[in-house]
Chains A and B, each alone.
Chain A
Amino acid sequence: MRYTVVHAADLHLDTPFSGLGEVAPSIAKELREASLTAFDNLVQLTLREHAAILLLAGDIYDGETRGIRAQRRLLQGLGRLREAGCEIFIVHGNHDPLAGWTAISDWPEGVHVFPAGDVTSREVVRSGETIATVHGVSFAQREERENLARRFHRRGGGAQFGLLHCNVGDSAHSPYAPCSPEDLRAAQLDYFALGHVHQARLVLEGGPWAAYSGVLQGRSPHPGDAGPKGAYVLRCDSALGLVSPPEFVPLDVVRFASLSVDLTGLSDVAAAVDRIEERFGSLHAAQAGRGLVARLRLDGEFAAHAELAQRAEELVEELRVGAQGTSPFLWLDELEVATKPPLRREEIAGRGDLLAELLAEAARIEASPEAARAFLAEQAQQLRRVETQAALGDDVDVESLLRQAEDICLRLLAEEGDAR
């Protein structure tokens, strides 16, 4: 029998976006709803595809506190799927291990939550035929260090699906339930629906298949969370397993993007604003009806560098006002002015004046680790109170800090005539 399966993971329902500064209230509301709207999109997709099975591979909520709103929304969505006859299989991951409390006292019939410990299996029967067997295991606690993949084996009728939250040899992610592609292959299943890694990708191709569907909605402006997010749709046959490669369907409602604009050759800030707005507009148009949170970096050799650096905040405000009212929304999160004045540092260094002395001093600090430590220690002394409270702990790059400091000094001390 032919049927459709949908695979999603890392829903992180009702999770706040991280690394994002203050936003306009209307946009804050949309961002707040984004993970839940993406989940609604997943439900819609599953209904539209008349999928027989929905596989959710862990991290459905974020953190052990598991927002009530998220759980209620999840329950509503699953209820709709049950009415349509879809069977839902869930495992818990490191963000929502079984040990956490839950606002869901009873799962609806047809929603199967795999327990921790041994892998358990459940058959899916349609019109008297076993069309699939789903095997799965949940995390008992956040730090699951066992290789859970090795517990999976082919058994039961129909196509064989494994449901697992794990890390398949990816050093960039937390090493929970670590395993290798060979472990997955050894289980001899038709498809491993994996969770944990936020970028969608195929881990094994052909027979067997294994894939991370990635998060349902990007969660921060960091590069790993950029690009389309969604779920895989699998076309299956009870005897043959997958009949075509998994098909990725984007379901996210907000996208993050970093934009670099080179201002080389422009004469003034107004021209820069025009160029930025043009680039901004085309980036926004490329998001196919989704809200966009963008980070902007301005670089290149720019005649009005000093003015730009001085008016950076004003410029952010101007660009935000310019984007106001666009639907779907467009929000500039951060502006980095990395342009260079046409004045060369080497030229200044050769002048023998205070600025030359200043650049030489910066070079001295940079060259000596001891001097750099002392330089930073002075800052740390001042920031002690703030650090304690905000647990910032960011590594400070002395080199870039010194470049910024030089830049500020040049701006304050160099005369307009020097910048030309």
Chain B
Amino acid sequence: MILRGWRIEGFGRFHAAQVDDLSGGLTVIEGPNEAGKSTLLGFLRFMLFGFQRGDSKYPPLEGGRHGGRLLFSDPQGQWELERFQGKSARLIAPDGRVLEEDALRALLGRIDGAIFKDVFAFSLWELSNLEALSQEEVRDRLYSVGLTGAGHSASSARRSLEQQLGDLLKPRAEKARINQLLSALGETRQRLREAQLQAQDYAELQHREAEAEEDADRLQREASALRARREFLLLLRSIEGTWNRLHRLESELGRTVDKLDPSLAGELQDLLDAQKARAVELEQRRGDERELTAQIEEIAPPEALVEVAPAVEDLVRGLGLQEDRIRRADEADRALQAKRGACEEIAAKLNLPSGAELPTWDFTVRQEIDDWARRLRESDEKVRRLSEQSEAALRDAARAAEDAEAAQAALAPHEGVADAAALRVRLAAIESLQRLGDAMQRRRTTFLGAGGMGVALGVVGAIGLAQRVSSLIAPLAVGFALAVYAAAAGVRAERRGRAACRQAAEEGGLSYPLPEGDLERLRREAQALQEGAADQDHLRQRAAELQAKRALRDAEAEELRRRLAHEQAQSLADQEAFGAFKRGHGLPAGLAPELLGSYAAELAEFTRTRADVERLAAEVEDTRRGIAAWQTKAQEQLRGAGREVPADPRDLLAAVGVLASDVANARTAMERAADLGTQRDGLRARLLGIEDRRSDADRRIAELLSALGAQSASEFETLREASQLRSQFLDQAGPAAGELTRELLEGDAAARSAEAEEIAQRLERIDEVEHKRALTTLLALRNEREQVAQTADVAEYAAQEERLLTELRRAVAQWRSVFAAKQLLDRTLEVYERDRQPEVLRFASQAIGRITAGRYTAVRQRSDEKGLVAVDAFGRQLSPEELSRGTAEQIYLALRLGLAASYGERVVTLPLVLDDVLVNFDPDRARAVLSVLGEFAAEEGRQALLFTCHPFVREMAEQIQGTRTLRLPQPLAAGEAAAARAPGPVDSGEGDIASLTLSALAQGELALRAIAERTGAEERDVRKQLQTLLQEGTVEAVGEGRGRRYRLSTHEGLFGRP
């Protein structure tokens, strides 16, 4: 990249300043102090990178917009960069495209602004400042230029990684994550071990608890046994007297009871038991017998019923029949009444006199009636048919009359029309005329002009119009017209034609000549008339036919009328003959022959019904007799049984029913009483048997009592019960009683008292001491075990350990990643430096050799790789601190040239801008530097701008081939400088102040105020800077207080020092 020029709108003291003739190679720009060299450097940096942190802002002092344009070129062509404070840069490409900041950065190889400031565009301050930076940063700047393609530097990345690693793991730090986790893990594991040990105790505790529990139980059991023993002893003491007496009595009882002969006693007991059972049975049987007797008495029936019983049972057998008879008699009565009614009804209908002889019927009469019926039917049919035919004939005659009259009426309009023959003649005439007319026309067309025909037509038209009054004279007009035509065509032909026409007209009864145009009309009229005449003929013929038909119809109607009258008379005669027949056979006069069949049926029905009436009457009579006979018998029996006799037959039936039921009951009762009587007899026999056996037993009992020495049975039973109780007692309480007896009779009462006392003491000890202690032990062990269960939470600590281990693994994995990143970065930097460093150092070594005229031969990396050393002609290695300021600066300048060259080769070539960097160099070395610089910049595509305030530097440079010089205008007037200084927020960076101060002092001794004026900075800033420079020995002070002045202390680097 080559800077071609700039247009400053407003930047520090520059306003509308313009340079546009810069080129590649070395250009020395000379300007006195305050001419704006540093401002220009600031402007170039600002244009390419904007303001960086700590940069002076150079607000426009002379007006104009803060910023401007920069012109430069590269192999692609001319570029123009525009930048104003607070706005983004605009880059106009060679092809005119407007690009943004990013394109600019790409064009600059993405170099960082700070690195540009350090390597490519630096002032004396930056040049010497490099020395003060930390070794690492030096290395970073020297070898990592462009490493990252801009953005974050490798060293800041390393720092970040180290920071992260330190946060994760540090040898003796407590706050690092892994350290914390390790510590927590250790603690958790300790707790886990303790909990596990405690848990192991659990089983032992459990065992001891079981033992303690057993101990307590054993004591409790012992106490229970002792208490029981003590209670027994106390009991013995209390029952002693009673027991002794009881024992004596028991012994006596034993003796008495033992005397009883068991077999006799057993037999007696059995007998007594049997007697008791017998007594109970006897009592029971007697009760049964009494009950039977009462029952028999209770169910015995009355005498009267017993007597009538057979007759009543006989009656009862006929009871159903009687009921049936009564029911049938009523039904037969009702049927008889109904039949009689029906009989009378038929008789009335047939009009039979009561008791009269009924007509008799045979086949011949029936046949005759049928014949009559057929004859009458046929006669009627004939009359009806004739009557219909006669009516139809009358209707036909009337219709024929109507038709004949209508035909006559239709004929009327045609009266007076010429007859058809005359019409035919006229039509023939018209057709002849037409043909003649046509022939004449053809001739006329051949010979006459149109005008002649028009005149002829006009004449014909006029005549035709005059003669149109009558259709009969119209043909004459036609003829006339044709005659005119003929005259016009040719006299001979015309005349001949006209004669023919006249003749034709006359034949047709037409006048000639005919009016023009009427010929066709006449023809149509004649045709119509001809057709009308044909119709009239037809109508007339039709009327005659109809008239004949009418006469025929009238004759037919008359004939029918006559035949009908005859038939009607015949029918009347038949009717009268049939009436005579009916009278002769006793049939009702009004009876129609066809009704005779049903009449005969009704008559037969009447005969049957009358027979039914007679049969039913006989049946009713018979039934009534049966009823009366049974009733008589029933009444007798009722009276015999002393019962009331009802009059009503139905009540009688009911009374007999009741009586029959009573009789049946009496019958059952008698049978039951007989059964009971049998039972009672059996019972009585058994009673006698029992009483016999009782008597026998009583005798044997008396014998046995006597043998056993008992006064009575009750005495014997008392003895026996005592014996049983004693055996029972001896069975149940024998051992205990024996023991009691032994204790009480044989034991020592004093010893018992002593034992009771001893037991009491032992019990007290158990209750008060031993059991309590055992329980306390048990409780304590149980508590302890529970405690262990609660606190020995192995699982909780194990879970915690697991969690911590997982966290630790994760933290270690993270540490590994970060550490690996650092390893990788370190190795890469190492490789990078190894590859790049020789190139840069080689360049720097050559340069320093030339600059120092061989005094120093090389620049190398220190053996410990921490910094650089210069190697002198004697092979000695000197660190920058061991060199003079100027030499150190020359070495740094040489290194920068190497870096710029390296960057140019690898990335992009950028212009070098050096602001008064030769201040500390002696003339020889300054010249050498200019030479080296000139050669550096002379290479294709390179450019170096050297700002200086020293004319001799320019002069030196002018001696170097290809070097251009440029002069900046004179500084501002004092007033303008003050204005520039006073109001603006001149944010002068420290670096700038230092370099400006040194630049100012390079001209000679100056007071503080003068330095401040020349640098354009605040006095206090300058004072502060001077103090630093004094301390490092760059500047020395002359005088004290207000008159104090400052000057540069170095001798080597002063140009033109007085």
Do residues A103 and B149 form an inter-chain contact, with CB atoms below 8 A? Answer: no
Report the bound CA distance from A235 to B758 in whole Å: 67
Do residues A404 and B795 form an inter-chain contact, with CB atoms below 8 A? Answer: no
Given the interface pairs A378-B823, A390-B182, A412-B161, the reply to whether A357 lies near B810 with Cβ below 8 Å is no
Chain A residues lying within 8 Å of B818, measured Cβ to Cβ, are 408
Cβ 8 A contact of A31, one of B152, B186, B799, B831: B799
Chain A residues lying within 8 Å of B794, measured Cβ to Cβ, are 65, 67-68
Q: How far is the CB of B623 from chain A (nearest CB, A)?
A: 83
Which stretch of B200-208, B286-294, B700-708 is in the interface? B200-208
Chain B, residues 525-558, CB within 8 Å of chain A (1/0): the string is 0000000000000000000000000000000000
Do residues B820 and A375 form an inter-chain contact, with CB atoms below 8 A? Answer: yes
The A-contacting residues of B in range 766-824, CB under 8 angstroms, are 788-789, 792-796, 798-803, 805-810, 812-813, 815-821, 823-824
Q: How far is the CB of B825 from chain A (nearest CB, A)?
A: 6
Do residues A386 and B148 form an inter-chain contact, with CB atoms below 8 A? Answer: no
Chain A residues lying within 8 Å of B147, measured Cβ to Cβ, are 353-354
Chain B CB within 10 Å — which of A18, A102, A334, A378 has the most? Answer: A18
Do residues A353 and B148 form an inter-chain contact, with CB atoms below 8 A? Answer: yes
B275, CB-defined interface residue at 8 Å? no
B210, CB-defined interface residue at 8 Å? yes
Given the interface pairs A65-B794, A354-B144, A386-B178, the reply to whether A19 lies near B802 with Cβ below 8 Å is yes
24 inter-chain pairs at a CB distance below 8 angstroms, sorted by A residue, are A16-B799, A18-B802, A20-B802, A21-B806, A65-B196, A68-B794, A105-B206, A105-B210, A353-B146, A354-B144, A354-B148, A354-B829, A358-B824, A361-B827, A379-B819, A390-B185, A392-B808, A392-B812, A404-B820, A406-B824, A409-B821, A409-B824, A414-B148, A415-B151
Report the bound CA distance from A354 to B836 in whole Å: 11
Given the interface pairs A379-B819, A417-B102, the reply to whether A358 lies near B828 with Cβ below 8 Å is yes
What residue in chain A is nearest B206 (Cβ atoms)? A105
Cβ 8 A contact of A17, one of B161, B792, B802: B802
The interface residues of chain B, by DSSP majority, are classed as helix
Do residues A379 and B816 form an inter-chain contact, with CB atoms below 8 A? Answer: yes
Q: How far is the CB of B795 from chain A (nearest CB, A)?
A: 4
What residue in chain B is nearest A72 (Cβ atoms)? B789
B832, CB-defined interface residue at 8 Å? yes
A26, CB-defined interface residue at 8 Å? no
Instruction: For the A-B complex with A354-B144, A361-B824, A386-B808 known, give 5 more contacts whose Cβ atoms are closer than 8 Å.
Output: A101-B203, A392-B809, A394-B809, A412-B157, A412-B160
Chain B residues lying within 8 Å of A386, measured Cβ to Cβ, are 169, 178, 182, 808, 812
Do residues A68 and B788 form an inter-chain contact, with CB atoms below 8 A? Answer: yes
Chain B residues lying within 8 Å of A31, measured Cβ to Cβ, are 799
Chain B, residues 925-949, CB within 8 Å of chain A (1/0): the string is 0000000000000000000000000
A362, CB-defined interface residue at 8 Å? yes
Q: How far is the CB of B133 from chain A (nearest CB, A)?
A: 20
Chain A residues lying within 8 Å of B827, measured Cβ to Cβ, are 361
Q: How far is the CB of B884 from chain A (nearest CB, A)?
A: 35
Chain B residues lying within 8 Å of A357, measured Cβ to Cβ, are 828, 831-832
Chain A residues lying within 8 Å of B816, measured Cβ to Cβ, are 379, 383, 396, 401
Cβ 8 A contact of A413, one of B154, B178, B823, B831: B154
A204, CB-defined interface residue at 8 Å? no
Given the interface pairs A67-B794, A68-B789, A414-B151, the reply to whether A389 lies near B810 with Cβ below 8 Å is no
What residue in chain A is nearest B824 (Cβ atoms)? A405
The tally of residues in B whose CB lies under 8 Å from a CB in A reads: 66
Report the bound CA distance from A23 to B802 in whole Å: 12
Q: How far is the CB of B405 from chain A (nearest CB, A)?
A: 113
Report the bound CA distance from A346 to B831 in whole Å: 20
Q: How far is the CB of B930 from chain A (nearest CB, A)?
A: 34
Q: How far is the CB of A396 from chain B (nearest CB, A)?
A: 7
Do residues B825 and A358 form an inter-chain contact, with CB atoms below 8 A? Answer: yes
B878, CB-defined interface residue at 8 Å? no
Cβ 8 A contact of A15, one of B202, B792, B795, B806: B795
What residue in chain A is nearest B164 (Cβ atoms)? A408
B583, CB-defined interface residue at 8 Å? no
The interface residues of chain A, by DSSP majority, are classed as helix
The A-contacting residues of B in range 407-455, CB under 8 angstroms, are none
Do residues A101 and B200 form an inter-chain contact, with CB atoms below 8 A? Answer: yes
Chain B residues lying within 8 Å of A362, measured Cβ to Cβ, are 824
Do residues B792 and A20 form an inter-chain contact, with CB atoms below 8 A? Answer: no
Q: How far is the CB of B903 from chain A (nearest CB, A)?
A: 12
Chain B residues lying within 8 Å of A408, measured Cβ to Cβ, are 161, 817-818, 821
Chain A, residues 167-198, CB within 8 Å of chain B (1/0): the string is 00000000000000000000000000000000
Report the bound CA distance from A352 to B908 in whole Å: 13
Chain A, residues 365-381, CB within 8 Å of chain B (1/0): the string is 10000000001001100
Chain A, residues 32-56, CB within 8 Å of chain B (1/0): the string is 1000000000000000000000000
Q: How far is the CB of B532 from chain A (nearest CB, A)?
A: 110
The B-contacting residues of A in range 383-398, CB under 8 angstroms, are 383, 386, 389-390, 392, 394, 396
Do residues B149 and A351 form an inter-chain contact, with CB atoms below 8 A? Answer: yes
Report the bound CA distance from A228 to B805 in whole Å: 26
B894, CB-defined interface residue at 8 Å? no
A14, CB-defined interface residue at 8 Å? yes
B306, CB-defined interface residue at 8 Å? no
Report the bound CA distance from A149 to B260 in whole Å: 82
What residue in chain A is nearest B192 (Cβ atoms)? A65
Chain B residues lying within 8 Å of A405, measured Cβ to Cβ, are 817, 820-821, 823-824
B596, CB-defined interface residue at 8 Å? no
The B-contacting residues of A in range 63-88, CB under 8 angstroms, are 65-70, 72
Q: How far is the CB of A46 from chain B (nearest CB, A)?
A: 24
A127, CB-defined interface residue at 8 Å? no
Chain B residues lying within 8 Å of A418, measured Cβ to Cβ, are 149, 151
Do residues A390 and B799 form an inter-chain contact, with CB atoms below 8 A? Answer: no
A259, CB-defined interface residue at 8 Å? no
Q: Identify the 9 closest CB pairs spanning chains A and B, nearest first.
A: A16-B799, A415-B151, A405-B820, A354-B147, A408-B821, A404-B817, A412-B157, A405-B821, A14-B795
Report the bound CA distance from A390 to B102 in whole Å: 50
Chain A residues lying within 8 Å of B196, measured Cβ to Cβ, are 65
B199, CB-defined interface residue at 8 Å? yes
Report the bound CA distance from A358 to B832 in whole Å: 9
B259, CB-defined interface residue at 8 Å? no
Chain B residues lying within 8 Å of A413, measured Cβ to Cβ, are 148, 151-152, 154, 157, 825
Report the bound CA distance from A66 to B906 in whole Å: 70
Do residues A16 and B807 form an inter-chain contact, with CB atoms below 8 A? Answer: no
Do residues B906 and A68 form an inter-chain contact, with CB atoms below 8 A? Answer: no
Do residues A68 and B202 form an inter-chain contact, with CB atoms below 8 A? Answer: yes
Chain A residues lying within 8 Å of B825, measured Cβ to Cβ, are 358, 409, 413
Report the bound CA distance from A379 to B818 in whole Å: 11
Report the bound CA distance from A56 to B238 in whole Å: 65
Chain A, residues 327-364, CB within 8 Å of chain B (1/0): the string is 00000001000000000000000011111011001100
Chain B residues lying within 8 Å of A358, measured Cβ to Cβ, are 824-825, 828
B150, CB-defined interface residue at 8 Å? yes
A402, CB-defined interface residue at 8 Å? yes
Do residues A32 and B102 form an inter-chain contact, with CB atoms below 8 A? Answer: no
Do residues B821 and A355 form an inter-chain contact, with CB atoms below 8 A? Answer: no
Chain A residues lying within 8 Å of B789, measured Cβ to Cβ, are 68-69, 72, 103
A28, CB-defined interface residue at 8 Å? yes
Q: How far is the CB of A222 from chain B (nearest CB, A)?
A: 12
Chain B CB within 10 Å — which of A22, A66, A68, A334 has the most? Answer: A68
Chain B, residues 194-226, CB within 8 Å of chain A (1/0): the string is 001001101100110010000000000000000
Chain B CB within 10 Å — which of A31, A351, A408 has the most? Answer: A408
Chain A residues lying within 8 Å of B146, measured Cβ to Cβ, are 353
Do residues A383 and B812 form an inter-chain contact, with CB atoms below 8 A? Answer: yes
Given the interface pairs A69-B793, A361-B831, the reply to whether A389 lies near B182 with Cβ below 8 Å is yes
Report the bound CA distance from A414 to B150 in whole Å: 8
Q: How far is the CB of A215 from chain B (nearest CB, A)?
A: 16
Q: How far is the CB of B814 from chain A (nearest CB, A)?
A: 9
Q: How far is the CB of B657 from chain A (nearest CB, A)?
A: 70
What residue in chain A is nearest B822 (Cβ atoms)? A405
A382, CB-defined interface residue at 8 Å? yes
